[in-house]
Amino acid sequence: MKFYVDFDDCLCETAKAFTGIASRLFRKNVPYEEVRFFNLQKSFGLTDDEYEQLMLEGHRPEVLLSYEETPGASAVLNELIDKGHEVSIITGRPSSAYEPSRRWLDEHNLERVKLYCLNKYGRDSFIKNSEFNLELEDYYKMKFDYAIEDSPMAFKFFDHLPDMKVMVYNRPWNQDCELPGENYTRCMSWEKIRELVD
Ligand SMILES: [Mg+2]
């Protein structure tokens, strides 16, 4: 089986780190549980300039490397790979973040997963001239049996694979989102993902 796995807020606790950055840079103290929108500019109430600063800070290599692993992510993915499954991390981070993202994976025992940067959110605007190494047309040639994703904005990338099982990693910003089909399941933890795949 082939697995699509999102990086931020599936493998690691990105939004929690961003609440710390927003507090440090702008004294915006929004608890993680209250990050109700996938759009962090909206969740934190930031101006355009502040949002750009937030994103640049959050994509600095040292900061990317410091993100905490989501409990169980590495263990479950390694079990899948041991059983012969193929795991691709498809992240919305720009390819300028590739090196530290690759290093984060390697440092968390995920040397065997592949990593691709796909322009999921049209975020080229905040990191000037950012590039993504996976072109959309190449992405659409890839086939997956399972996807693990937290962002409702990324669900459109699954429309061409109606039989794929999508596991929506439960997060405050996807609570109110109606899941688009019966092939979607909300997962509270990697433990639950392990069960569903078994
Ligand atoms: Mg994500």
Q: Give residue 49 CA to ligand 1 midpoint distance, Å.
A: 23
- Are 155 and 96 contained in the same domain? yes
104 and 189, same domain (yes or no): yes
Compute, in angstroms, the gap from residue 37 CA to the centroid of ligand 1.
12
- What is the distance in A from the centroid of ligand 1 to the CA of 123? 13
Distance 82 CA to ligand 1 centre (A): 24
Instruction: Cite the DSSP H helix spans in 90-135.
Output: 98-107
pLDDT digits (tens, 9 = 90+) for 27-73: 999 999 999 988 899 999 999 999 999 999 999 999 999 999 999 99
| CATH number of the CATH domain containing 100 | 3.40.50.1000
Query: Distance of alpha carbon 163 from its chain centroid, rounded?
Result: 21
Cα 96 from chain centroid (whole Å): 16
**Under 8 Å between Cβ of 35 and 172:** yes
Q: What is the pLDDT of residues 145-174, one digit of tens each?
A: 999 999 999 999 999 999 999 999 999 999
Same domain, 30 and 51: yes
- Which residues is 2 bridged to in the sheet? 86
Structural domains in the chain (count): 2
Structural domain including 174 reads 2-13+68-197
Residues with CB in 5 Å of ion ligand 1: 6, 8-9, 150-151
